[in-house]
């Protein structure tokens, strides 16, 4: 196992190098000269030159690349171009809000989707199953924007059940007052696709021999479905959830934006709007690293939960 | 997907066996949901085509009604717009009684006449329309159709770009193997390790040019990974099949074997991928345009309509939101259901 983990870590190096190259290529080659953006509308050549020197843009490309690699390895991306805050600080301060929103959302959505998936797989092929699948397809085709716009308008603005937006420094107040509506809307959006996916995982299991054996020895159908089948279907579910954790951080960017939650996702949108390259570069690199690491964790967990799987 | 002769109906006389596509078509026809969603998608595409040719919704920008005219079927109902009026209005300018003479009244009147030559036309603005009007008095129905054109075309173009990229790369990678495969796999790993939405936003940030073409490029260059993986797998599988070896024996070139012999046999995978990608590209376009990184303000797409609709909703104007949402949901649902049916019909291994 440790040999496998070591090899996987070793294989990450070329991928990481690729990500660094891709980001460098995007921002230094396609992105144009940021000095003109930074210097503003009324700037003279001197100002532009000084900004270029400050950012290292007057250096040849390979030296710029080397500077960038150093930044990645030392976790030091310098300061945001718009607020002057250090990029590391931005993440440290925005992460708690994102986690407050996403952790409960992830747990609740996974549980609900699992129960629904097993339930639907139980009555597979029936009109309930097919009807629900059509409804879910329809739900998935409504843009997430519509859910948020309508939810915010009806539940918060008109009915006043929730605050329209806001965030405080108090964790307890956030989780009880400000987070529930975004979480609710997040659930509405994510349960349909997750249930569809988990249902297919469960359906992969229901025709296996061990299920027939369980029925043959007279176990009740709930026991077969919720103990025997569910346990095995959980394996791909765990892998899926784990490897999607880093993406989750950004997944809520629309929720964070609409509800004024100072999280990582909203910060990225702001950075894109302001062409704040250091922030976007840092997010891209670190989320990519996190994705690779969590993919590995997912695969290792797969191996632990299912001894039949051979890792190569 | 070789056809089998055992399918021939009449045993007495030899009839040519049906092709894979004919079989798939027969399976598809028996799927009611699939057929209806197929018809819906076809009609929508026809509508898009007619907008392109300019026969429908070409005058969507014309002011045809008063600002925020309600839908004609919702006039009688107490709309939320009336509630909104109950809110305390901030009056910035109090019109004074008639004793004050407007010094430029005469000039103003003539200027007005110059802009709108006939006085009747001003009165001809409708007070209600089938789907209401927007802030500038434009017909929401035409606007939705025009928006459908943008959104669907962007979705199709981006999906086409991603599918072609993924298919060609996957085919070459699976067929040649070796260093080509290693390189493509490396590229795949790089793109795959960055969550899609982040890559989309990063490219949007550097491109910094708004427009439909930018959206197509962003979504096309980020969406190819899934297709690549599937196609590579298919080519690996088919590479050593007998019919490919036979083609090799009669001297077919690499390109010919890849694209004339194998491609038709894996085309069902491409078709399904294409329609899956179209759905996700349309959704992504809507979000990008909404955030202001997509279709520019002077254009119209379902995404820009949602942006306007969000502001409208605060004063109780709900019809634009309804129109854009309905149009998008109908098309995307139909396309998703069609994709499911296509997949079932094209995969002979699925038991019906």
What pLDDT is recorded for position B173?
Answer: 92
**Residue whose token pair is 């009007």:** B133
**Residue whose token pair is 């260059």:** B221
Question: Looking at CA atoms only, how far is residue B79 from chain A in angstroms?
Answer: 14
CA B8, B13, B14, B19 dihedral sign is negative
CB contact under 8 A, B203 and A271: no
Mean pLDDT of B157-180: 92
CB contact under 8 A, A272 and B205: yes
Mean pLDDT of A156-183: 80
Q: Which of A140, A284, A289 sits opposite B202 (nearest CB)?
A: A284
Percent above pLDDT 90 for chain B: 13
CB contact under 8 A, A291 and B194: yes
What is the full DSSP assignment across A93-151?
HHHHHHHHHHHHHHHHHHHHHHHHHHHHHHTTTSHHHHHHHHHHHHHHHS-HHHHHHHH
User: Is pLDDT above 70 for B350?
Assistant: no
A254 touches chain B (CB under 8 A): yes
A101 touches chain B (CB under 8 A): no
Judge if pTM exceeds 0.90.
no
pLDDT digits (tens, 9 = 90+) for A41-96: 666 777 777 777 777 777 777 888 888 888 888 877 777 777 777 888 888 888 88
- Reported confidence tier of residue B10, pLDDT bands at 50, 70, 90: very low
What is the full DSSP assignment across B165-234?
HHHHHHHHHHHH-HHHHHHHHHHHHHHHHS-HHHHHHHHHHHH---SHHHHHHHHHHHS-HHHHHHHHHH
Q: Which of B205, B325, B351 to mutate to test the interface with A (most CBs of A within 10 A)?
A: B205
Q: Which of A27, A140, A251 sits opposite B336 (nearest CB)?
A: A140
DSSP-derived letter for residue B261 is I
Lowest-confidence pick of A56-60, A93-97, A190-194, B289-293: A56-60
In chain B, what residues touch A153 (CB-CB under 8 Å)? Answer: 313-314
Angle between helices B178-193 and A277-305 (to 10 degrees): 110
A200 touches chain B (CB under 8 A): no
More confident residue, B77 or B332: B332
The nearest alpha carbon in chain A to B199 belongs to: A284
ipTM: 0.81
What pLDDT is recorded for position B352?
Answer: 43
The nearest alpha carbon in chain B to A257 belongs to: B291
User: Is pLDDT above 70 for B349?
Assistant: no
A57 touches chain B (CB under 8 A): no
What pLDDT is recorded for position B101?
Answer: 66
User: Is pLDDT above 90 for A224?
Assistant: no
Contacts of A134 (CB under 8 A, 6+ apart): B33, B337
Nearest to residue A278, comparing CAs of A68, A123, A114, A97? A68
More confident residue, A243 or B169: B169
CA B153, B53, B61, A153 dihedral sign is negative
CB contact under 8 A, A277 and B205: yes
More confident residue, A239 or B17: A239
Q: What is the dihedral of CA A36, A42, A46, A49, to 10 degrees?
A: -10
Q: Which of B193, B303, B329 sits opposite A292 (nearest CB)?
A: B193
In chain B, what residues touch A272 (CB-CB under 8 Å)? Answer: 201-202, 204-205, 291, 293
Percent above pLDDT 90 for chain A: 3
pLDDT digits (tens, 9 = 90+) for A295-307: 888 888 888 877 7
DSSP-derived letter for residue A275 is T
User: Is pLDDT above 90 for B145?
Assistant: no
In chain A, what residues touch B205 (CB-CB under 8 Å)? Answer: 31, 271-272, 275, 277, 280
CB contact under 8 A, A22 and B313: no
Q: Which of B198, B207, B290 sits opposite A283 (nearest CB)?
A: B198
The nearest alpha carbon in chain B to A146 belongs to: B325
A157, HSE (Cβ side, Cα atoms, 13 Å): 17
| CA gap A43, A227 in Å, rounded | 69
User: Is pLDDT above 60 for B30?
Assistant: yes
- Reported confidence tier of residue B292, pLDDT bands at 50, 70, 90: confident
Structure tokens at A44: 């003279």
The nearest alpha carbon in chain B to A37 belongs to: B208
What pLDDT is recorded for position B170?
Answer: 92
pLDDT digits (tens, 9 = 90+) for B111-137: 766 665 554 445 566 666 777 777 777
Mean pLDDT of B8-33: 72
Contacts of B136 (CB under 8 A, 6+ apart): B63, B67
**Residue whose token pair is 């026991």:** A223
What pLDDT is recorded for position B90?
Answer: 56
Backbone angles phi, psi at A79, to 5 degrees: -110, 155
Calculate ∠ Cα A26-A29-A32, nearest 5°.
100
- Rounded to the nearest integer, the mean pLDDT of chain A is 83
CB contact under 8 A, A31 and B208: yes
- Reported confidence tier of residue A251, pLDDT bands at 50, 70, 90: low
CB contact under 8 A, A141 and B193: no
Give the SS3 label for residue A33: coil
User: Is pLDDT above 90 for A139?
Assistant: no
What pLDDT is recorded for position B130?
Answer: 72
- Reported confidence tier of residue B268, pLDDT bands at 50, 70, 90: confident
User: Is pLDDT above 90 for B158?
Assistant: yes
Question: Looking at CA atoms only, how far is residue B247 from chain A in angstroms?
Answer: 34
User: Is pLDDT above 50 for A197?
Assistant: yes
- Reported confidence tier of residue B91, pLDDT bands at 50, 70, 90: low
What pLDDT is recorded for position B93?
Answer: 58
In chain A, what residues touch B208 (CB-CB under 8 Å)? Answer: 31-32, 275
Using only C-alpha atoms, chain A has a radius of gyration, in whole angstroms, of 24
- Reported confidence tier of residue B83, pLDDT bands at 50, 70, 90: very low
Q: Which of B198, B309, B333 sits opposite A137 (nearest CB)?
A: B333
Max avg pLDDT among A58-62, B75-79, B233-237: B233-237
Alpha-helical runs (H) found in chain B: 20-29, 32-52, 80-86, 105-115, 119-123, 140-176, 178-193, 196-207, 212-222, 225-238, 242-249, 254-256, 263-291, 302-314, 319-346
A91 touches chain B (CB under 8 A): no
Calculate ∠ Cα A240-A241-A246, nearest 5°.
105
In chain A, what residues touch B195 (CB-CB under 8 Å)? Answer: 246-247, 250, 287, 291
CB contact under 8 A, A18 and B291: no
A253 touches chain B (CB under 8 A): yes
Compute the count of residue pairs across chains A and B with CB atoms less than 8 Å apart: 122
Q: Which of A102, A136, A144, A146 to mutate to test the interface with B (most CBs of B within 10 A)?
A: A146
Mean pLDDT of B314-318: 79
In chain B, what residues touch A14 (CB-CB under 8 Å)? Answer: 186, 189
Q: Which of B196, B293, B325 sits opposite A146 (nearest CB)?
A: B325
What pLDDT is recorded for position A177?
Answer: 76
A149 touches chain B (CB under 8 A): yes
CB contact under 8 A, B197 and A247: yes
Give the SS3 label for residue B71: strand
CB A40 within 8 A of CB B219: no
Chain A segment 113-142 residues within 8 A of B by beta carbon are: 134, 137-138, 140-142
What pLDDT is recorded for position A113?
Answer: 92
CB B304 within 8 A of CB B295: yes
Calculate ∠ Cα B31-B237-A202, nearest 5°.
50
Structure tokens at B82: 């009336």
Q: Which of B186, B208, B331 sits opposite A14 (nearest CB)?
A: B186
Q: Which of A15, A31, A134 sits opposite B193 (nearest CB)?
A: A15
In chain B, what residues touch A292 (CB-CB under 8 Å)? Answer: 193
What pLDDT is recorded for position A67?
Answer: 81
User: Is pLDDT above 70 for B295?
Assistant: yes
């Amino acid at each position: 196992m440790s040999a496998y983990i070591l090899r996987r870590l070793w294989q990450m190096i070329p991928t990481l190098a690729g990500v660094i190259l891709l980001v460098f290529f995007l921002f230094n080659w396609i992105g144009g000269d940021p000095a003109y953006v930074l210097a503003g509308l009324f700037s003279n050549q001197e100002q532009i030159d000084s900004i270029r020197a400050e950012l290292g843009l007057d250096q040849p490309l390979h030296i710029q690349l080397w500077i960038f690699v150093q930044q990645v390895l030392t976790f030091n991306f310098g300061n945001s171009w718009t607020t002057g805050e250090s990029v590391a600080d931005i993440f440290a301060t925005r992460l708690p809000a994102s986690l407050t929103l996403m952790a409960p959302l992830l747990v609740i959505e996974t549980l609900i989707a699992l129960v629904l998936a097993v339930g639907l797989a139980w009555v597979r092929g029936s009109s309930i199953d097919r009807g629900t699948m059509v409804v879910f397809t329809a739900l998935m085709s409504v843009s997430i924007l519509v859910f948020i716009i309508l939810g915010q308008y009806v539940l918060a603005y008109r009915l006043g059940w929730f605050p329209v937006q806001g965030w405080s420094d108090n964790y307890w107040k956030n989780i009880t007052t400000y987070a529930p509506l975004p979480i609710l809307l997040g659930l509405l959006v994510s349960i349909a696709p997750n249930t569809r996916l988990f249902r297919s995982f469960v359906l992969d299991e229901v025709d296996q021999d061990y299920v027939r054996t369980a029925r043959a020895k007279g176990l009740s159908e709930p026991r077969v479905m919720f103990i025997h089948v569910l346990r095995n279907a959980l394996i791909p579910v765990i892998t899926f959830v784990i490897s999607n954790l880093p993406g989750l951080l950004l997944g809520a960017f629309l929720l964070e934006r609409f509800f004024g939650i100072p999280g990582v996702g909203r910060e990225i949108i702001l950075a894109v709007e302001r062409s704040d390259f250091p922030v976007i570069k840092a997010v891209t690199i670190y989320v990519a690293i996190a994705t690779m690491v969590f993919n590995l964790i997912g695969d290792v967990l797969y191996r632990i939960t299912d001894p039949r799987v051979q890792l190569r | 997907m070789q056809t089998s002769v055992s399918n021939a109906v009449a045993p007495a006389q030899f009839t040519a066996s049906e092709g894979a596509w004919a079989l798939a078509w027969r399976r598809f026809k028996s799927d009611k949901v699939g057929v209806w969603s197929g018809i819906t998608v076809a009609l929508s595409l026809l509508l898009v085509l007619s907008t392109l040719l300019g026969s429908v919704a070409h005058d969507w920008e014309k002011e045809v009604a008063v600002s925020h005219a309600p839908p004609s079927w919702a006039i009688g109902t107490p709309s939320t717009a009336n509630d909104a009026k109950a809110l305390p209005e901030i009056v910035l300018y109090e019109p004074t009684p008639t004793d004050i003479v407007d010094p430029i009244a005469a000039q103003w009147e003539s200027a007005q006449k110059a802009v709108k030559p006939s006085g009747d036309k001003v009165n001809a603005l409708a007070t209600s329309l089938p789907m209401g009007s927007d802030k500038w008095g434009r017909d929401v129905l035409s606007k939705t159709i025009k928006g459908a054109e943008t959104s669907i075309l962007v979705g199709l173009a981006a999906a086409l770009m991603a599918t072609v990229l993924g298919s060609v790369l996957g085919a070459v990678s699976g067929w040649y193997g070796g260093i080509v495969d290693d390189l493509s796999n490396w590229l795949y790993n790089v793109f795959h390790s960055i969550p899609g939405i982040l890559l989309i936003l990063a490219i949007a940030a550097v491109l910094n040019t708004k427009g439909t073409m930018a959206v197509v490029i962003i979504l096309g260059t980020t969406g190819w990974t899934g297709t690549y993986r599937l196609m590579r797998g298919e080519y690996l599988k088919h590479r050593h099949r007998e019919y490919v070896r036979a083609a090799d024996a009669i001297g077919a070139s690499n390109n010919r074997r890849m694209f004339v012999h194998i491609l038709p046999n894996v085309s069902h995978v491409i078709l399904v991928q294409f329609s899956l990608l179209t759905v996700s590209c349309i959704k992504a376009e809507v979000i990008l345009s909404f955030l202001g990184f997509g279709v520019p303000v002077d254009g119209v797409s379902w995404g820009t309509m949602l942006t306007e609709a969000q502001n409208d909703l605060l004063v109780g104007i709900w019809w634009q939101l309804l129109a854009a949402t309905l149009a998008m949901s109908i098309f995307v649902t139909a396309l998703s259901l069609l994709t499911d049916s296509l997949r079932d019909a094209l995969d002979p291994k699925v038991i019906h």
